[in-house]
């Protein structure tokens, strides 16, 4: 049975409509949706919300009429982007969708724009349980499906990747969109050092962009800044993607979002996945940028699952988070597969070889990173891990003993600790002990940097913290709260009952730590990266 759904997209730039034909019982043979898009182009600078909304009001009726004229049969439902996005643009699309559904007397389907970016890739790839990287203008985050929802495994702590790049291009006087101009200029550039900020699977672009602007102002050739901007920004996104694969045990990665059109980013992700033995999929570029095809595809899957809404339930939400959406259109596959305990284990950064009572950990060269950047990170992280692992022990936190350090080869020899990862036995009691350990570290001015459920080992009578490679010294409440945020993200992404586990973790932290840290954690969690 053929079903047709029209999708309408209009969160910011793209006034777009598409018709998708599918069999509700078998999406595998569905043809690609037919898409019509009229994109807003500002005369100068970045996006102007009022002008974007005016463009949406004029363009949406025309793109809808075009795809309806080309439809090869009646329309069975109307899907539209409810958010996240610019309120005035979303209201225009919502009004158009309600009017069209009423005229055709068909159901409405309200779609989360960010999930649509991922679902068009999941649909095209046929993957069962991928980790998904969204790299778009206003957003940047990693999602993994678990327990009936897409869980946020990692996200930007300040601005979306596309917006970050646009801030640099506006600084140098280039018109919107900035991404393609950076990509073109980078072809003639050479590498210069820029800040690289990864905190577990979270990341930050603000310091990187400030440094890029400063380098340009100081006379560094713009092509060198653009080259280094790409190498650094996309290496960060690739690294956190690999960390998410390592955390969850997944072996499939899907890319979504307009920045995913960049050839260097796609190349880095493909190279990383090839090294790991994972599969990688990026949709055709026309389905990476904002488009109604992705709204129609996800809308079709939701329609087949019975996920329709009434007019009174169709309000738009400019801050609509992807992890708020109950996912009823997928079977219960999960990215969480528990712990891995073998003689040789590949993490996100290193291969760990276990022999008797010792562990040899070697940070591998990463082919996707620029050689200079790769050498710097491997060296700095090896040194940091050796020093902070030993320092944590001196402050009473159980960690491995460091027997040997070879900085040139980025290799550590440590004592073997525990018999399983925390991921294999994530109980409230164990989480409470992690909270106590992190609070003890923070009182001593040490930040772990990557305290995930993979980086805690469970022994007979105690828990050990391992892998301090992203660690550093800081007494700042924000840095301590980010440590807690990283742990929380890893729990939410993998645990069946994250609320109970995280309550125990915070109780353990409160017993030994600063109340201001947990207050700041609430602030971090509420900042919202999906606008």
Sequence-distant (6+) residues with CB within 8 A of 163 are: 46, 137, 138
Distance of CA 282 to the CA centre of its chain: 15
Angle, in degrees to the nearest 10, between helices 515-525 and 498-512? 150
Q: For residue 114, which of 328, 251, 329, 319 has the smallest C-alpha distance?
A: 319
Strand pairing class (279-281; 472-473): unpaired
Any idea which residue has 């309550």 for tokens?
503
The values of phi and psi at residue 400, to 5°, are -65, 155
Here the tokens at position 287 are: 């389905």
E strand intervals along 466-505:
472-473
The sheet with strand 140-146 has its strands ordered as: 149-155, 140-146, 131-135, 252-256, 279-281
Q: Radius of gyration of the chain from Cα atoms?
A: 24
Determine which helix (DSSP H) or strand (DSSP E) holds 164, and give its type and residue range. Answer: helix 161-171
Here the tokens at position 384 are: 């940091």
Query: Is the CB of residue 200 less than 8 Å from the CB of residue 470?
Result: yes
Any idea which residue has 């409509």 for tokens?
17
Q: Please tell me the distance from the alpha carbon of residue 131 to that of residue 90, in angstroms, as a whole number.
A: 28
Strand pairing class (350-355; 344-346): antiparallel
Taking phi over 0 as left and psi of -120 to 50 as alpha, with beta for the rest, 491 belongs to alpha
Cis amide bond preceding 84, omega within 30: yes
Render 247-276 in DSSP notation, one character per residue: HHT--EEEEESGGGG-HHHHHHHHHHHHHH
The values of phi and psi at residue 447, to 5°, are -105, 125
Exposure string for 367-395, b = 16+ CB within 10 A, e = fewer: ebbbeebbeebbebbbebbbbbbebbbee
**Is 450 one of the annotated active-site residues of the chain?**
yes
Distance of CA 330 to the CA centre of its chain: 20
Determine which helix (DSSP H) or strand (DSSP E) holds 54, and give its type and residue range. Answer: helix 49-70
Given the residues 224, 290, 374, 450, the one annotated as active site: 450
Q: How many CB atoms lie within 10 A of CB 135?
A: 29
Query: Is the CB of residue 135 less than 8 Å from the CB of residue 260?
Result: yes
Query: Is the CB of residue 301 less than 8 Å from the CB of residue 27?
Result: yes
Q: Which residues pair with 202 in a beta bridge?
A: 199
* Residues taking part in catalysis: 450
């Amino acid at each position: 049975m053929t079903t047709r759904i029209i999708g309408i997209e209009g969160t910011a730039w793209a006034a777009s409509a598409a018709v998708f034909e599918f069999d509700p019982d078998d999406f595998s043979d569905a043809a690609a949706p037919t898409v019509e898009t009229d994109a807003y182009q500002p005369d100068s600078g970045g996006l102007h919300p009022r002008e974007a909304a005016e463009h949406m009001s004029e363009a949406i009726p025309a793109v809808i009429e075009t795809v309806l004229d080309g439809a090869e049969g009646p329309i069975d439902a109307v899907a539209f982007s409810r958010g996240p996005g610019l309120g005035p643009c979303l209201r225009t699309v919502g009004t158009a969708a309600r009017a069209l559904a009423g005229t055709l007397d068909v159901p409405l389907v309200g779609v989360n724009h960010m999930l649509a970016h991922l679902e068009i890739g999941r649909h095209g790839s046929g993957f069962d349980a991928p980790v998904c990287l969204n790299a778009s203008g206003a957003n940047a985050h990693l999602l993994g499906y678990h327990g009936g929802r897409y869980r946020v495994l990692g996200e930007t702590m300040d601005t979306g990747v596309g917006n970050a790049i646009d801030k640099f291009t506006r600084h140098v006087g280039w018109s919107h969109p900035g991404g393609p101009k950076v990509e073109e200029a980078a072809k003639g550039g050479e590498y210069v050092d820029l800040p690289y900020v990864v905190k577990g699977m979270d990341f930050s672009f603000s310091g990187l962009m400030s440094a890029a602007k400063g380098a340009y102002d100081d006379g560094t050739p713009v092509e060198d800044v653009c080259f280094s901007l790409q190498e650094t920004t996309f290496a960060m996104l690739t690294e956190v993607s690999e960390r998410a694969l390592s955390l969850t045990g997944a072996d499939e990665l899907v890319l979504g979002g307009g920045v995913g059109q960049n050839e260097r980013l796609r190349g880095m992700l493909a190279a990383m996945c090839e090294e790991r033995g994972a599969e990688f999929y990026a949709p055709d570029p026309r389905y990476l940028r904002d488009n109604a095809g992705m709204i129609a595809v996800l809308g079709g899957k939701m329609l087949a699952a019975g996920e329709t809404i009434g007019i009174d339930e169709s309000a738009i939400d400019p801050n609509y988070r992807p992890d708020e959406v109950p996912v009823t259109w997928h079977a219960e596959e999960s990215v969480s597969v528990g712990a891995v305990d073998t003689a040789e284990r590949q993490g996100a950064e290193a291969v760990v070889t276990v022999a008797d009572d010792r562990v040899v950990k070697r940070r591998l060269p990463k082919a996707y990173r620029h050689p200079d950047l790769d050498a710097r990170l491997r060296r700095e992280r090896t040194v940091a891990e050796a020093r902070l692992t030993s320092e944590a022990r001196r402050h009473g936190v159980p960690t491995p003993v460091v027997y040997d350090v070879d900085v040139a080869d980025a290799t550590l020899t440590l004592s073997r600790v525990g018999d399983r990862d925390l991921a294999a036995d994530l109980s409230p009691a164990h989480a409470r002990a992690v909270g106590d350990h992190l609070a003890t570290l923070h009182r001593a001015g040490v930040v772990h940097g990557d305290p995930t459920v993979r980086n805690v080992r469970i022994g007979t009578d105690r828990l050990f913290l391992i892998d301090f490679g992203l660690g550093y010294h800081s007494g700042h409440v924000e840095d301590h709260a980010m440590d807690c945020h990283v742990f929380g993200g890893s729990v939410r992404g993998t645990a069946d009952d994250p609320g109970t586990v995280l309550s125990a973790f915070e109780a353990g932290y409160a017993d030994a730590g600063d109340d201001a840290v947990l207050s700041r954690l609430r602030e971090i969690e509420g900042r919202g990266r999906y606008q």
